[in-house]
Amino acid sequence: MTISAAGPADVKAVPPAPADAPKTTGNGWLSQHVGTAIVCGFLGYILGHWLGNYLGSAYPYIANSGQNSLAVLLALMFMVLGWLLGIGALNYPILKLTGRDAKPEVEYTGWSRYFRYNLDHKIVGIQYVVAVLMFFFTGGLLAMAIRTELLSPTVHVFSADTYIKIVSEHGTIMMMMASSIVVGPLGNYFVPLMIGARRMAYPRIEAFSLWTFVAGYFVIFSALFFGGFPTGWTGYAPLQTQAGPGMVSYLFGFAVISIGMIAAGFNLAATIINYRAPGMTWSRVPVFVWSIIATAALLTLASPVLLAAGLFGLLDKTAQTAFYVTEHGGSSYLWENLFWFFGHPEVYIMALPGFGIVGEIIPVFCRKPLFAYRIAAAGMIGVALLSFFVWQHHLFQSGINPDMRPLFMLTTELISIPTGFIFLVGMGTLYKAKIRYEVPMLFCMAVYFNFLIGGISGVFLSDVPVNVTVHGGFFVLSHFHYTIMGGLIFAFFAGLYFWLPKMTGRTMNKKLGLWHFWTMFVFFNLTFFPMFVIGLLGQPRRVFTYARDLQTLNDFSSIAAFCLGASFLIFVANLMWSQFIAPQKSPANPWDSLGLEWQTATPIPSHNFDRIPVIMTDPYHYSEVGAPALVDFGDGSPAHASSSVASSTDPDQ
């Protein structure tokens, strides 16, 4: 069966496909790649710095401000522009000025394609994996430094100033990473496969989102060379206004990342809306794709506010405006409002894809249909909508009209309802299931365990009296680590263990995977659960000393944190071992999943599907007798739920 009723009535005279396009070949390492991007970025930095000094000297209020943040900003801006120019991201936008269509893409093979501006969503997905791990391990090393400092309240490794800058850098890098850790690698890689698409709607914008994300890493990392920033990841004014040029890196870094986030969300939303295969109705869309489109909506609508907030902050630092300077007619609360209008949807930008991964994986290992699929999808949309109406709970302690508190307390508590829907969908699926405890499933179970603690503590925190009591302390810190790390990061690893066999064609070592899981799970809880107690006993965040009687708990937490850090080394070892040192070929569908992504060949062809598939039902009919066929690939052998095996076309299988 091939698609027959796909086109609209007015599209009748589609000309035949052109003969095979001429095979284009690249110039190898002489063409654009990461190396040229680094060189151009470096040259851009020098040029921008010179220009900033030249321009700044012409304006007395900049010249007299004591520091030329304009030079830092222009250096970073030109660095990013040079980076994008060097990698090839601007080739097509420049070519468009002449009215030309895009040139046929050079199809690089081998390792070099991972170091280029590649338009294949699968390559971009793998590039994203490396990029987010780079963020994650940098932020993780900074976390180790934090816990080292907190081993003793009196013997210090760092000065107070250095400590807060490490905390700030850790928080910012982790939040930037977390915003893309699922959408970037797994969203870009698997959404087209799951919806039966052969490509992304805007592959150049997709690749652009990746390379701006990487540029954002360098920008935020550069803060350390400009003296850091003392504000934590939230960048609150007036501390922001008083901070040195490292603050420019923070503000510009967030602006760059927000552009990348907008681009990623834009492309994914357009792809899901338009490129779903015939038969892939909204009621058949995989729950992971539902989570990605809800996230894409948040990315496209919330991130522009962060971009604007960053722009205003940069103007304060460079053009000497006073957006966040109360003494000059601005307001530090303006930053807080703009930041959190983005910042709270950001929490769900991080959480929703994690829920999507878990919702996708647990039916596979329970061999049961996903319980209340429509409720899960509705819950995700509900969370996304409500997330725009809760940001003021971050201001309960700072400047909000007290009469407004109950309203935002209510909206915050309301959001726990759709979140609860999603949680209950998981519980309903697990109920009476004969669970296969493979590594991805264990990570999923951990997500429910951790998120339950994070979620319930969140309900307490939404109440004004509790919020006032524990605000700014380790209780809050523990809460959001339970939701973000306990939820999202565990879900990310569940997704990696689940999908890496499809991405690379190689199986991860199960024994090492189990070691990774158990050490990560145990030491995560041993690290962060004591922090609830530490917080309730009064230890504030972002302070490098604390009451002497809290040292035992802090030491316990620090040692557990070191072990937690070590658990990631097991993952790295597993990755190296399983993918490079002793690679073991994966079966076509190692988990017997019904997901469409598993029904195509491994390795996945560049165009994903030889024929556009026709979707016949949703992918959750596990263990159902007489379940309908899943998909028709047009080759006369529809994949069937009861067989639940891949119709692999891999000649090697």
Partner 1 sequence: MTDMIKSSPKMSDTPEEREFELRAHIGAIWSGGRLFIGIYTFFLASLAFSYFYLRSSNNGLLWRPDHVTAPTAYGWTIYTLTLLAALMAIFGQSRLRKGSVSDWQTAVWVGVAASLLALFLQIWEFVAVPFYPGSSGYASTFIGYAVMNVMTIFIVAYWLETTVARSIRLNKELDGVSPQLSMHPSAQSFRANVASMTYFLGFVALASTLLFAMFYLL
Which of the residues 601 through 620 are near partner 1 (CB under 8 A)? Answer: 605-607, 610-612
Binding to partner 1 (CB under 8 A): which residues in 7-26? 7-8, 11-17, 20-21, 23
DSSP letter at 328 equals: G
96 binds partner 1 per the rule CB under 8 A: yes
CB of 118 to partner 1, least distance (A): 11
* CB-side neighbour CA atoms (13 Å) of 198: 11
Query: Given the complex with partner 1, which of 52 and 140 has the nearer CB atom?
Result: 52
- Interface map 169-198 toward partner 1 (x if CB under 8 A): ----------------------------xx
Q: Are 79 and 40 in contact (CB under 8 A)?
A: no
CB of 152 to partner 1, least distance (A): 43
DSSP letter at 104 equals: P
Query: Given the complex with partner 1, which of 162 and 649 has the nearer CB atom?
Result: 649
Binding to partner 1 (CB under 8 A): which residues in 232-291? 262, 266, 269-271, 273-275, 278
Query: Given the complex with partner 1, which of 579 and 599 has the nearer CB atom?
Result: 599
Cβ-based neighbours of 114, under 8 Å, separated by 6 or more:
123, 126, 127, 130
Query: Given the complex with partner 1, which of 444 and 604 has the nearer CB atom?
Result: 604
- Interface map 108-147 toward partner 1 (x if CB under 8 A): -----------x----------------------------
How many residues at the interface with partner 1, by CB under 8 A? 81
Residue in 529, 362, 370 with CA at minimum distance from that of residue 445: 362
CB of 295 to partner 1, least distance (A): 14
The one among 79, 302, 488, 564 contacting partner 1 by CB under 8 A: 302
300 binds partner 1 per the rule CB under 8 A: yes
Query: Given the complex with partner 1, which of 224 and 315 has the nearer CB atom?
Result: 315
**Does residue 353 have a cis bond before it (omega within 30 degrees)?**
no
CB of 270 to partner 1, least distance (A): 5
CB of 556 to partner 1, least distance (A): 44
Binding to partner 1 (CB under 8 A): which residues in 323-342? 323, 325-331, 333-334, 337-338, 341
Residues 27, 28, 33, CA angle at the centre, nearest 5°? Answer: 105
Calculate the CA 487 to chain-centre distance.
13
Q: Are 292 and 272 in contact (CB under 8 A)?
A: yes
- Specify the 3-state DSSP secondary structure of 230: coil
Whole-angstrom CA distances from 356 to 128, 290, 430, 447 are 18, 7, 16, 12
Query: Given the complex with partner 1, which of 622 and 633 has the nearer CB atom?
Result: 633
Q: Provide φ and ψ at 631, rounded to 5°.
A: -155, 150
Stretch near partner 1 under the rule CB under 8 A, chosen from 99-107, 375-383, 523-531, 642-650: 99-107
Sheet with 629-632: list strands edge to edge: 614-615, 629-632, 639-640
Q: What is the 3-state secondary structure (H, E, C) of 142-177?
A: HHHHHHHHCCCCCCCCCCHHHHHHHHHHHHHHHHHH
| Rounded-to-integer distance, Cα 16 and Cα 340, Å | 52
| Rounded-to-integer distance, Cα 591 and Cα 364, Å | 7
CB of 106 to partner 1, least distance (A): 12
The one among 67, 112, 162, 320 contacting partner 1 by CB under 8 A: 320
The one among 322, 452, 553, 563 contacting partner 1 by CB under 8 A: 322
- Interface map 53-92 toward partner 1 (x if CB under 8 A): --------x------------------------------x
Helix 287-318 to helix 332-366 angle (10° resolution) is 160
Query: Given the complex with partner 1, which of 57 and 584 has the nearer CB atom?
Result: 57
Query: Given the complex with partner 1, which of 133 and 309 has the nearer CB atom?
Result: 309
Count CB-CB contacts under 10 A for residue 476: 19
Please report where in the chains the tokens 């909508």 appear, as a residue: 385
| Rounded-to-integer distance, Cα 534 and Cα 154, Å | 17
201 binds partner 1 per the rule CB under 8 A: yes
The one among 311, 378, 407, 433 contacting partner 1 by CB under 8 A: 311
The one among 46, 102, 130, 417 contacting partner 1 by CB under 8 A: 102
Strand partners, 540: 473
DSSP letter at 506 equals: B
Query: Given the complex with partner 1, which of 411 and 608 has the nearer CB atom?
Result: 608
Please report where in the chains the tokens 């024929």 appear, as a residue: 611
